[in-house]
Amino acid sequence: MKSLRKGNPKIRFANSNDYHYLLSKDKHIAPHRLNSAIKEGRVLIIEEDECIGWLRFSYFWETIPFIDMLYILEPFRNKKYGTALINFFEENMKLRGFSELMTSTTSEEYAQHLYHKLGFKTVGGFFPPKEAYEIILTKTIM
């Protein structure tokens, strides 16, 4: 496997050609909402020779970019691809004039450690019914 340092990953916004692939992989969004997210430029793709992951976002209170989904395919994890996606997203949001980012992750997921490493701070959380504790994180980017 190529690592981020050795490979030449490309990060881009998803387009309609990515719809069926993302729909087959991302089970956390309804088809019509995924289609809207792609059309609205709210899905980033990272690829080497093929898609190896994505970042999907929305807006909390319609004003704060919120990472809804960060997913890297299993063979490509722990190779800095998630970090690259988040950094690209952060820079893009800065260019759009945003000063804060938000996300959440369950207390059982490794992603919380990545977010903390990248400067996100835990600001709270909650217990969804029959689910693990959900951690809310923010990061100031300006």
In order of their start, the domains of the chain are 10-140 (3.40.630.30)
- Cα distances from 61 to residues 45, 64, 76, 104, in angstroms, run 25, 7, 33, 15
pLDDT for position 2: 37
Instruction: Give the tens place of pLDDT for each residue, 25-71.
Output: 999 999 999 999 999 999 999 999 899 999 999 999 999 999 999 99
- 136/141 Cα distance (integer angstroms): 17
Residue 117 burial by CB count (10 A; 0-12/13-18/19+): exposed, middle or buried? Answer: exposed
By three-state DSSP, how is residue 24 classified? helix
Residue 3: what pLDDT? Answer: 42
Which stretches of the chain are assigned E, i.e. beta strand? Answer: 10-13, 43-47, 51-60, 64-72, 100-106, 121-126, 134-140
Element (H, E) at 113: helix 111-117
CB–CB of 137/120 below 8 Å? yes
Please report which confidence band the pLDDT of residue 1 belongs to, taking 50, 70 and 90 as the band edges.
Answer: very low
pLDDT at 7: 66
Which residues 6+ apart lie within 8 Å of 123 measured at CB? 136, 137, 138
pLDDT digit string, tens, across residues 92-123: 999 999 999 999 999 988 889 999 999 999 99
